């Protein structure tokens, strides 16, 4: 039986794949960068073993009122974390959206859209994360 693994890394969340082998794989560097960037944004400081400063902790902002100050805090945190852990990424546009911006979103949802580029490999992409909080 031939080895099906031809990817760079395991894709998260884990998903069984009949074409890649036991799990779905990231097949190019763009997919790996996007997955690592998403992990950086969603990881809370203290959650990563051996690197307690790692992570933006986006979820902690969900319980604050989304205003100019909160937006500035989120953008600052993302910029600082990218500079420290993924300095090869250039952040182009960061948008924070809620029900006021997109009426079809639920009142307890927030969406962050980050347009970024990796100049060293001529890559541009968008990371979009929608988070929901419950009371």
What total of structural domains would you count in the chain?
Answer: 1
83 lies in which domain range? 15-132
CB distance 38 to 27 below 8 Å: no
Mean of pLDDT over the chain: 86
| Domain annotation covers residue 9 | no
Q: Name the pTM for this structure.
A: 0.83
| Domain annotation covers residue 125 | yes
Q: Could you read off the pLDDT of 82-94 as tens digits, one per residue?
A: 999 999 999 999 9
| Domain annotation covers residue 5 | no
Say how far apart CA 105 and CA 103 lie, in whole Å. Answer: 5
Which CATH number does the domain housing residue 66 bear? 3.10.450.40
Q: Could you read off the pLDDT of 21-42 as tens digits, one per residue?
A: 888 888 889 999 999 999 999 9
Q: What are the angstrom distances between the C-alpha of 126 and each of 1, 50, 95, 118?
A: 38, 29, 11, 11
């Amino acid at each position: 039986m031939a080895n099906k693994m031809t990817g760079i890394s395991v894709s998260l969340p884990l998903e069984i794949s009949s074409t890649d082998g036991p799990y779905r794989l990231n097949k190019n560097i763009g997919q790996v960068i996007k997955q690592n960037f998403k992990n950086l944004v969603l990881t809370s400081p203290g959650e990563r073993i051996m690197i307690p400063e790692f992570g933006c902790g986006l979820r902690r902002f969900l319980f604050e009122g989304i205003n100019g100050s909160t937006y500035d805090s989120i953008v600052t945190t993302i910029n600082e974390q990218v500079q420290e852990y993924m300095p090869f990424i250039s952040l182009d546009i960061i948008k924070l959206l809620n029900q006021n911006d997109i009426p079809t979103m639920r009142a307890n949802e927030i969406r962050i859209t980050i347009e970024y580029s990796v100049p060293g490999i001529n890559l541009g992409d968008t990371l979009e994360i929608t988070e929901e909080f419950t009371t």
